[in-house]
Structure formats: structure tokens, C-alpha cells
Chain A
Amino acid sequence: MELTGAEIAIRCLQEEGVEYLFGYPGGAVLHIYDALFQQEKVKHILVRHEQAAIHAADGYARSSDQVGVALVTSGPGITNAVTGIATAYMDSIPMVVISGQVPSYAIGEDAFQEVDAVGITRPCVKHNFLIKDVKDIAPTIKKAFYLAKSGRPGPVLVDIPKDISNHKTEFVYPESVSIRAYNPVGKGDSNQIKQAAQLLLEAKRPMIYAGGGVVLSGAAAQLTDLVRLLGYPCTNTLMGLGGFPATDDHFVGMLGMHGTYEANMAMQNCDVLVAIGARFDDRVIGNVAHFAELPRKIIHIDIDPSSIAKRVKVDVPIVGELKPVLDELLTVLRASNKKPVAADLAAWWKQIKEWNVKGGGLRYKNSSEVIKPQFVIETLYKITQGDAYVTSDVGQHQMWAAQYYKFDQPRRWINSGGLGTMGFGLPAAMGVQLKHPDATVACVTGEGSIQMNIQELSTCKQFHLPIKVLSLNNRYLGMVRQWQQFFHGDRYSESYMDALPDFVKLAEAYGHVGMRIVNPADVEPALREAFARKKDLVFMDFQTDPKENVFPMVPGGKGLSEIVLSEDL
């Protein structure tokens, strides 16, 4: 039987097992919405802004190992979606976005709501397609899913002109897909892996640095085995948190700009570094020249060759999927009769412990007068017993959440690291809650960020999403304020958040529960009450210390060992 392009598109999503489609209708996608209406398998989540559709699909993908899927209309629909797509791209999140386009015969005529979607998204997608023939819809969507999730994952856009979504053809979903110019690697090179094992076993001051790749590839178990087998210290990037259990003794905390003193010092001073699914970001190693001052051998395992040797020289590059590579590395290590030299390792751990003492670990001065943001996160950790999915927005609150919530499992910490998109937290939490309806989902945000997608409280009401929003309201664009304090002579240019709404009333206006918490003594009871309300979205407006800063801090452009510690301690 012949189906319309729109029907075919929806059938493809069904074939891919898509559970939720996040979207917003408009002229160019009317046929697709019509096809959606006439079936039940794929459930549509109507957001209130296209950016949120993409973030929600993104949160869905990050908290599972599935591809997030979104549908937007042409013109303003797709331009609104771009921030979300770029967010997913920077963090390598598998996603398929379908956008409507003006009818094919009108393309190029400045038609109503026409934008060059493929052109506008080109630099921030893994790949994109403009459909020119109804026969191409099924094979293209098949390719889009394959590209999104294989190799280094990423968002893929499929742009469908309106007339083509109404043309008819026979529907056949391809069984398999192959793209001749695209062959992601699987296993790594065995000789390189042997060499890596050799280097690791000879190390005197080893360091394991694991990033978002571990989470994306589902290799947390392999990483954990590796660290425990060798007994080496392990650090995670912001994106890698949960890839190794934070409560394990081998964990030295996050590294980088707001990482722990010991993680950064160990990174700088190690003699053998193994980077696993991490990309030596500038927020991670600070000043590259400073990092290169000390000699160290670097092993780098990554599926994307362009991540390797991009910013630092690498001695043993291993291109491959983390799971098979780590499995093979483990086999080689276990079979080896060589063992790490115990005395060297003990001396190295002693040094790391000393750095821990010197840096003060993660400490802050609590107060009985004003709510310290770190205290809110610690209490959140305590009452959720470390078992929540935590999404965050971008700013100081994000760093405190990363520092003080101890993630023991992958895919529990969901944040925008690469693009740093304010407005990510709440819509991402929607995707997470839909994927895990019975789980506890907390969104840690700031009064600045939450206002960038606050309209999604309405979506949460419609779909009964009992997210717990913890707004650390410091009345400042705190991260900006902190930089202005440190680097711009206390000139707080446009970083004060004036005329804030009454968030309690706002939450209530959307049909949710709102709470304002002003006293430190009320933090725990408020959180307990909020989390006990299993069915409600509770918006908690914590009035936190406006002057609190995030420490430790490696100032921009500085080296890792030039890290600045909290002035209070």
C-alpha cells in the first residue's frame, strides 16, 4: 500500500521503537502531525518552545542509551531548535531532529517561513539531509538513526519539504544500512593496546582521566574494573561524572577549572596518563603550554581520531570503541606477569593524600544565617541517597551540583558541558522523567537559567512530570559575577538579576507547588517535604548567599597547578 511521506516518517519512527517525540507544530509539518494523530505508538510531547523540545529529547537520550527524537516546523521552528541541536552536538548526544521545510518548489524563493535548515545547522550536526523525493524518506531516516548512535554519537537533522510529506510511495523500511564513506571503528589496534598496558604497568605516578565517552559508550563497568585492577587514581571530567563511582576510594574528584586540588595536581604531575573518552578540553587542562611543561607519557583512547592529538601530543593513540578496547586492555593486563610497583604506587597515593589535605578537598564554610548553595546540594545528596537523576543548568549552581553530588552511576548527571547552555536543565529533566517515570528527578538551576525555559512548567503540568526544581537563587548571574569579582575589579556589569518574579506564585500559577526557603535550618525539612510529594512538581526557591564563589578555580589561561583555593579556608 502506498503511504504519504508524512505517514512514512511516522512509520519509520515506529520501526525505530521511538517512544516519545518532542515537538511543536506549524505549517510545514501539518501533514506529519496529521499522520501522528492517526496512530498511537509514538507519543508526542508538546513543549512550549522548540529549544525545549530538543533539550527534552537530549535529556531522554542522556539518561538512557536511546536516540532522542524531536519534530519542529520550518523557519522559526528550526531556528529556535538550533541552540538545542548545538548543545547536543557539543556533548556528542545521539539525536534525530525532523524539521518541516517549505514545499520543494518554493525553496529558494524566500517563501513564508523558509530558512536554509541544512545550511544553518551544518556546523552543529553530525550530518544532515534535505529530502528531495518521497522515496528517500525511509532510507534517510534509517541512515539518520544509524549515524546518530554509531561511532561518535551526535545529532542528525532530516529536513522534509511540505509537498514531499504529502507525496505517496510504497513503504519499506530498510533492514540494514551502509554508508560507504562512513565506517566507524570498533576494536582498537592490538599492538597499541599492548603498548598501553606496558606503559601503564611501568608507571610510577599513573593517572586515569575518564570523560563523557565512558558514559556515552556504556563502558563504566570496564573503567571501574581497570581502576580497581591497577589501584590507580581516577578522575572524571564534568561530562564523565558517574562513569566511575564517586564514592570509590580511587576517585580523586572532578578535574579542571573547578576540579579538586588533588585531581588537578595529579593530572599535572603524573608520569603516565591514560585519557579514556575525554578530549583535553580547555576547561580541563587549562593552559596547554603549561600542561606540556612537565614530561609525561599519554595514552589516549577515543573513537574519534580528531579528538586525539588535537590539543596535546599523544604517545599511544588508540582509536576504537571504549568497551572492546578496555576489555582487551584488561585481558592483556590480567595476563601480564608484571604488576605495578607497590612502593611507587604507595608513594604516589601518599602525595595525592597530601594534596587532598592541602587543597582541603571540597570544603565550604557553612552558615546558620544564610543558605550556602553547597549545603543545599549536600542535603539533596543525603535525602535522595545519591540515587536521583540530576539535571542542571549553567552557572555556579552547576559546578556545585557537580562537586557535591556524588554520582556512583553513569547517566545520572545530565548537564550541558560543551556549549554551556542556560535553559537546558528543566526541559532536559522532562525527557529524563518521561524515560524514567518512577525515578526521582531533580533539576538544579539558578534564577537566571530557569527563566530561559520557565515556560516548560506548563509542559510539566500537562504531562504530570513530578520534577523537583531546586533553584539556587543568589539574585545574580553568579558565574558572571564571580568572574567580574576576580578579573574585572568588582564591576558587576549587568550581572544582578533585578525584578525577579515571585517564583512561588509563578509555580502556583502553572499549577505546581512552590516553596521559598530562606533559613539554613529549613533546607532539609523543605527538601524532605518536596521529595515526599511523589506526584507533584515542586519548585524550591532557595535564597542562597549572593556572594558565594565556586572553588577551587583554575583561572582562565592558567595552568592546572596554578589553581586557586577558597579564601575562607
Chain B
Amino acid sequence: MRHIISLLMENEAGALSRVAGLFSARGYNIESLTVAPTEDATLSRMTIVTHGSDAVIEQITKQLNKLIDVAAVMDLSEGDHLERELMLVKVRAEGAARDELKRMADIFRGRILDVSSHTYTIELTGTRSKLDSFLQSIDQNLILETVRTGASGIGRGERILKL
């Protein structure tokens, strides 16, 4: 099962490598990992998307909690949550495709951030599957580059991860 795990950790050199090292050392899978400081500059918030059986996910959360730099861990997928990912796609936009790409970007509520005579750079946010389906909806041969941030997640309503 796909799980999305959020954690708060000390904003210290080396903390990220402890988390990344834990995943590689124990053979856990990482689909994506994002990290950035929070409103409290001493803390960073990380979102990890991973796959595993219930037992593996239980071990992952326990092992994460065990890291001295990790202050709080929440498996967002255990309850209601929101998940967003940002993607930038640069596409070849010439001739007939130019209009078609603009139309698709509109349908997916994307924005064209940068325009050149031959390219568009489109910004899209959404769940992983929304971004995937955008990529599937356009002509694959036109895709020049994609950059994705990986998912960020947050609990709905009163589900709060805070120290």
C-alpha cells in the first residue's frame, strides 16, 4: 500500500541523511521525499511517500521515531488528508500543438509560466494521479522536461502535526 508519512525534524545538518540512510539501509522504498523549513526555523517538515505492507509501514514509523533528530511522525494515510504536488513541464509548442497544449493546461487548471516561440513551461499542482494524467493526456513526443516536487501532505481539519 502507498503511504504518505509526514514528520517534523530538527533543522540540522545531517538530519536529512539520517532519514534517507534509514530508508536505504533497511531496504524501504521511497517514492518521493520533500523537505523544507517550517514557520519555526528550528524545525523542518518532511513528507515521504512510500510503499509497504502494514508491518513494514509500522516499522518505518517506529524507526523514524527512533531517530534522535525526528520530533514527530504521522502516517497521513491513516486518516483524512490533503496531498499536493507541484510539477513544471516544458513542452515543444509549435503549430497546431500550441493551441492544444494551452487547452489541456486550462482543463487541468495549469498555468503557463514561460512562453518562447517554440516552448511552453506549464505549472500544475494536484495529486500525483492528476499530474500523471496530465502527462498522459498530451503528446508524449512534445515533452521536453518534467520537474516534480514529490508530494506534500497535511491532515484535514483538526489533524495537526505540531510540537
Using CB atoms and an 8 Å cutoff, list the residues of chain A in contact with chain B: 118-119, 122-123, 126-127, 130, 147, 179-182, 304-306, 309-310
Take A180-B163, A181-B9, A309-B55 as given contacts and tell me if A119 and B17 are in contact as well, using a CB distance cutoff of 8 Å: yes
Instruction: Show 26 A/B contacts (Cβ-Cβ < 8 Å), sorted by A.
Output: A119-B17, A122-B14, A122-B17, A122-B18, A122-B21, A123-B21, A123-B25, A127-B68, A130-B13, A147-B68, A179-B68, A180-B71, A180-B163, A181-B9, A181-B10, A181-B68, A181-B69, A181-B71, A182-B68, A304-B66, A305-B62, A306-B62, A306-B63, A309-B55, A309-B58, A310-B59
B-chain residues with CB within 8 Å of residue A181 when the two chains form the complex: 9-10, 68-72
| CA distance in complex: A180, B71 (Å) | 7
| CA distance in complex: A179, B42 (Å) | 13
B-chain residues with CB within 8 Å of residue A119 when the two chains form the complex: 17
| CA distance in complex: A480, B65 (Å) | 38
A-chain residues with CB within 8 Å of residue B63 when the two chains form the complex: 306
* Residues of B within 8 A of A (CB-CB), count: 21
Out of A130, A179, A304, name the residue touching B14 (CB < 8 Å): A130
- A180-B71, A305-B65, A306-B65 are known; give 13 further A-B pairs, CB within 8 A: A122-B14, A122-B17, A123-B21, A126-B68, A127-B68, A179-B68, A182-B68, A304-B66, A305-B62, A305-B66, A306-B66, A309-B58, A310-B59
| CA distance in complex: A180, B70 (Å) | 9
Nearest residue (CB) in A for B58 is A309
| CA distance in complex: A147, B69 (Å) | 12
A274 to chain B, nearest CB (A): 21
Interface residues of B in 49-65 (CB under 8 A from A): 55, 58-59, 62-63, 65
Choose among A179, A306, A309, A310 the residue with the greatest number of B CB atoms under 10 Å from its CB.
A306
| CA distance in complex: A306, B26 (Å) | 13
| CA distance in complex: A118, B68 (Å) | 14
A-chain residues with CB within 8 Å of residue B9 when the two chains form the complex: 181
A-chain residues with CB within 8 Å of residue B70 when the two chains form the complex: 181
| CA distance in complex: A122, B25 (Å) | 10
B-chain residues with CB within 8 Å of residue A182 when the two chains form the complex: 68
Nearest residue (CB) in B for A311 is B55
Interface residues of B in 1-56 (CB under 8 A from A): 9-10, 13-14, 17-18, 21, 25, 55
The 4 A-B pairs with the shortest beta carbon distances in the complex, nearest first, are A181-B71, A306-B62, A127-B68, A305-B62
Nearest residue (CB) in A for B26 is A123
| CA distance in complex: A429, B149 (Å) | 53
Interface residues of B in 72-92 (CB under 8 A from A): 72
| CA distance in complex: A305, B10 (Å) | 21
Choose among B62, B63, B163 the residue with the greatest number of A CB atoms under 10 Å from its CB.
B62
| CA distance in complex: A122, B13 (Å) | 13
B-chain residues with CB within 8 Å of residue A147 when the two chains form the complex: 68
B29 to chain A, nearest CB (A): 18
Nearest residue (CB) in B for A309 is B58
| CA distance in complex: A402, B22 (Å) | 33
A-chain residues with CB within 8 Å of residue B163 when the two chains form the complex: 180
Nearest residue (CB) in A for B22 is A123
Nearest residue (CB) in A for B42 is A180
Nearest residue (CB) in B for A118 is B14
A140 to chain B, nearest CB (A): 12
| CA distance in complex: A130, B14 (Å) | 9
Choose among A179, A181, A305 the residue with the greatest number of B CB atoms under 10 Å from its CB.
A181
A-chain residues with CB within 8 Å of residue B17 when the two chains form the complex: 119, 122
| CA distance in complex: A118, B69 (Å) | 14
Nearest residue (CB) in A for B12 is A129
| CA distance in complex: A514, B59 (Å) | 50
B68 near A306 with CB under 8 A, answer no
| CA distance in complex: A305, B68 (Å) | 14
Nearest residue (CB) in A for B69 is A181
Interface residues of B in 91-132 (CB under 8 A from A): none
| CA distance in complex: A180, B42 (Å) | 11
| CA distance in complex: A567, B83 (Å) | 62
| CA distance in complex: A123, B69 (Å) | 14
B-chain residues with CB within 8 Å of residue A306 when the two chains form the complex: 59, 62-63, 65-66
B-chain residues with CB within 8 Å of residue A126 when the two chains form the complex: 68
Nearest residue (CB) in B for A183 is B71
Nearest residue (CB) in A for B25 is A123
B-chain residues with CB within 8 Å of residue A118 when the two chains form the complex: 14
| CA distance in complex: A147, B66 (Å) | 12
| CA distance in complex: A139, B57 (Å) | 35
Nearest residue (CB) in B for A143 is B68
A-chain residues with CB within 8 Å of residue B18 when the two chains form the complex: 122
Nearest residue (CB) in A for B55 is A309
A-chain residues with CB within 8 Å of residue B25 when the two chains form the complex: 123
Nearest residue (CB) in A for B68 is A127
Nearest residue (CB) in A for B14 is A118
| CA distance in complex: A239, B135 (Å) | 55
| CA distance in complex: A420, B44 (Å) | 38
| CA distance in complex: A127, B21 (Å) | 13
| CA distance in complex: A241, B17 (Å) | 37
Nearest residue (CB) in B for A151 is B66
Nearest residue (CB) in A for B9 is A181
A193 to chain B, nearest CB (A): 21
A177 to chain B, nearest CB (A): 12
A74 to chain B, nearest CB (A): 18
B-chain residues with CB within 8 Å of residue A122 when the two chains form the complex: 14, 17-18, 21
A-chain residues with CB within 8 Å of residue B66 when the two chains form the complex: 304-306
| CA distance in complex: A306, B70 (Å) | 15
Nearest residue (CB) in B for A122 is B21
A-chain residues with CB within 8 Å of residue B14 when the two chains form the complex: 118, 122, 130
A146 to chain B, nearest CB (A): 11
B-chain residues with CB within 8 Å of residue A180 when the two chains form the complex: 71, 163
B46 to chain A, nearest CB (A): 13
B22 to chain A, nearest CB (A): 8
Nearest residue (CB) in B for A306 is B62
| CA distance in complex: A305, B61 (Å) | 10
| CA distance in complex: A269, B72 (Å) | 40
B62 to chain A, nearest CB (A): 4
| CA distance in complex: A130, B18 (Å) | 14
B-chain residues with CB within 8 Å of residue A309 when the two chains form the complex: 55, 58
Choose among B9, B13, B14 the residue with the greatest number of A CB atoms under 10 Å from its CB.
B14
| CA distance in complex: A306, B72 (Å) | 15
A122 to chain B, nearest CB (A): 5
Nearest residue (CB) in B for A304 is B66
Nearest residue (CB) in A for B21 is A122
| CA distance in complex: A130, B21 (Å) | 17
A-chain residues with CB within 8 Å of residue B55 when the two chains form the complex: 309
